[in-house]
Chains A and B, each alone.
Chain A
Amino acid sequence: MDAILLQVLNGLDKGSAYALIALGLTLIFGTLGVVNFAHGALFMIGAFVAVTLQRVLNLSVVTVDPEKKDFLGNPLQVQTPYVESWFGEAAGQAIINWSVPLAILAAIPIMLMIGYVMERGLIRHFYKRPHADQILVTFGLAIVLQEIVKAFFGANPIQTPAPDALAGVWNMGAWLGMSLPYPAWRIVYFIFAAIVISGVFAFLQFTTFGMVVRAGMADRETVGILGINIDRRFTVMFGIAAAVAGLAGVMYAPINPPNYHWGMDFLVLSFVVVVVGGMGSLPGAVLAGFVLGILESFASTTWATTTIPGINQIIIYLVAIVILLARPRGLMGRKGVMEE
């Protein structure tokens, strides 16, 4: 029982990452109709916003300690972060410790900006071009972005730990009288994902802006004829999509240390999730994210892998095939979106 509940928690946790990535992608891909192969790169950049902030906060004054020696036998250079020398050691360390949550504040404007520039500078010119051209240009962009990150941060993963207060283990089963230890930050991630997802839905559902965007998704031309500048709203939506992807990345950094290759690792998966959810459907993408996350967790159990060897390797794709064959437009897809 405990084991099952733990895997449910794992599934929800994986699922919230998949859902966040897919939500951002489907805003661009499912609704604007742009095949954005650079979406994984946006997720990766988000994580590197956290890495960068951590590096910035760790910028240090260098003093030489003649007592100690470095590996060549020269006097050791001791580094004290500026924030520690400015705010005192305790406060400085606390600021560094909380760098990932702080990075959320930094990531929102940065990612909105990146999304805006990407859409205005590049993607805008590709709305009317064939999907093949969109694939080529966004794939090229994804490579360029990840290579730039590699040039600055190298290829090795970089630890970006969660604040100590949220780094421990919470017993999720305490109120059920069970022992269900689960990493605190993963719970935080799940809650965060729930907030962001509801935020995006509320924005589209309850604001006039969102209403116009939804109308534009359904019928762009008519909305345009009504005299509404739908293009500008789509630019904003692109920015929001980039921000959602970026935030998913920032928060994911403490779970697994980010590396420059993350974008490509999550790219294929995010497309599968969006399509399984159904093209043009935001709730579909979120639902598919959680379904695939939970199924993946259960497929990794010893019971599953001994029953069907290798099931953990292929589960995502197997489920995708079954769903797409059973339901022609995925879980909740709209008719006529990217079907030809």
Chain B
Amino acid sequence: MSKFEFTRRGLIKSGAAVGAGLAMPTILTRPAYSYTNEPKGGTVTLGFNVPQTGPYADEGNDELLAQKLAVEHLNGEGDGGCLTTFTSKALKGNGILGKKVTFVTGDTQTKSDAARASAKSMIEKDGAIMINGGSSSGVAVAVQGLCQEAGVIFMAGLTHANDTTGKDRKANGFRHFFNAYMSGAALAPVLAKEMGKDRRAYHLTADYNWGWTQEESIKASTEALGWETVNTVKTPLASTDFSSYIAPVINAGADVLVLNHYGGNMVNSLTNAIQFGLLDKAVNGKDFKIVVPLYSELMAAGAGDNIKGVLGSMNYNWQLDNEGSKTFVKSFGEKYGRPPSNSAQTCYAQVLLYADACERAGTFNPCGVVEALEGFEFDGLGNGPTTYRKEDHQCFKDVLVVRGAQNPTTKFDTLEIVEITPVANVTYPPNHPMFGGDEATLGKCNPGA
């Protein structure tokens, strides 16, 4: 392998060529940008960074479908989707600021490192001006930090931990999805109504950042109702079998099991809990209940019949009855043959919101976009009236409390909406202690270059 024999002459020749190349006058270097990846030609590139391999690949695929649909609508193809219902009328279906929208995709693998690598390649190689997508809070926080450094906008996908717009909030990052605090605040009154104020809860919590913030939030809001927390048990993320965590619940004197799990963890822990017959038991004279604070359609599909009667919360559900939602479901359903999931809806809305902000700001400059999005009030994207709060870049809107349906007619309506908790009940001050308190700041918007 080491037999690459160079002649001295050849080396000198190539060396001279390289030297000449490096000595080229600087006129040839690229004209300066006024901000990172300023679009110069007739197109603008968005970066869709979603999990395409690993356990959340299906979730990522759903996000990608929604993002592609959004790009179509922005470019004036298809049926226009929510452009017709969106209260801001800045978007004309001619791309963004007259530039045709193109996109690049990447694989986050649901790992912070890989997600950052893929986002970086979009920024450095493809000239992406905005990054959107993702299905975990660790990834969202990591990529958000990267976008802040690089000077592009990050429109988060599915991320539910308080930290994303709490202690890790960033000026260049925006979250449309709801968070753990809102889940707790929305669920608590429904739980009180359905199960009473005198309950003893047992928490199983995925042992990482998102799990902790959710446990903290749910615990706080249920204890405020008068519930007692019997025990909180952390389960390793890599667990596949939860029998040894479920079995102790039987004799713990608890009558509610709260599963702070997501994805495969939740599917398995719920399946195991049903296997152990928890829902058939009566403890303290009350029927045993299970709560899954964060639901997704894919989790519901994976858990199958086990979700019947189990309460949880969601950011969006396709059964929501408003103009924006109906238009989006029609548009998505006719193209892909099934209703959109709530992560798909979030990514779709985020792309439109970004495009709209650019139009209203009249520039792609991240600082202009930030200004246009801060405090922006809108409707018509599916969730009802929504505000992007200025202080932490978190969206405030109604939160859905859902329940596994007893008799679904198709595989798409396995979840039914129990209650639409009004936005006022889930609002909290930006310096709430669960969100980093007074120390958490957005910092300054960074246009890069």
Contact = CB atoms under 8 A, between A and B. Distances in A.
A and B touch in the complex (CB under 8 A): yes
Interface of A: 2-3, 6-7, 9-11, 13-14, 17, 68, 70-72, 76, 150, 154-159, 161, 167-169, 181-183, 185-186, 255-257, 259, 261-262, 265-266, 296-298, 300-302, 305, 312-313
Contacts of A257: 267-268, 271, 302-304
Given A3-B247, A168-B277, 16 more contacts: A14-B241, A68-B409, A70-B410, A71-B410, A72-B334, A155-B54, A157-B268, A157-B302, A161-B304, A161-B305, A169-B277, A181-B277, A183-B276, A255-B275, A257-B303, A266-B240
A286 to B, nearest CB: 19
Cβ-closest 9 pairs across A and B: A159-B304, A155-B57, A169-B277, A157-B302, A300-B244, A183-B275, A297-B244, A6-B247, A10-B244
Contacts of B240: 256, 262, 265-266
- Which residue of A2, A185, A259, A305 has the most chain B CB atoms within 10 A of its CB atom? A259
Contacts of B244: 7, 10-11, 14, 296-298, 300-301
B169 to A, nearest CB: 29
Interface of B: 54-58, 207, 231, 233-236, 238, 240-241, 243-245, 247-248, 250-251, 264, 267-268, 271-272, 275-277, 280, 298, 301-306, 318, 329-330, 333-334, 338-339, 409-410, 412-413
A6 B250 contact: yes
Contacts of A157: 264, 267-268, 302
Contacts of B271: 159, 255-257
Nearest to B57: A155
B339 A255 contact: no
Given A10-B247, A13-B243, A14-B241, A159 B302 contact: yes
A313 B243 contact: no
- Which residue of B243, B245, B277 has the most chain A CB atoms within 10 A of its CB atom? B243
A156 B236 CA distance: 20
Contacts of B413: 71
A159 B268 CA distance: 10
Given A72-B330, A161-B304, A183-B276, A302 B298 contact: no
27 contacts: A6-B250, A10-B244, A71-B329, A71-B338, A71-B412, A72-B330, A76-B410, A156-B301, A159-B303, A159-B304, A161-B304, A181-B276, A183-B243, A186-B243, A255-B241, A255-B271, A256-B240, A261-B54, A261-B55, A265-B240, A296-B244, A297-B243, A300-B235, A302-B231, A302-B233, A312-B235, A313-B238
B188 to A, nearest CB: 25
Contacts of A313: 207, 236, 238
B264 A186 contact: no
B54 A71 contact: no
Contact of A14 (B235, B243, B268, B298): B243
- Which residue of A76, A186, A266 has the most chain B CB atoms within 10 A of its CB atom? A186
Contacts of A296: 244
Contacts of B303: 159, 257
B42 to A, nearest CB: 36
A167 B245 CA distance: 19
Contacts of A183: 243, 275-277
Contacts of A169: 275-277, 280
Contacts of A158: 302
B438 to A, nearest CB: 30
B251 A2 contact: yes
Nearest to B318: A71
B234 A305 contact: yes
A181 B305 CA distance: 21
Contacts of A259: 55, 264, 302
A2 B252 CA distance: 11
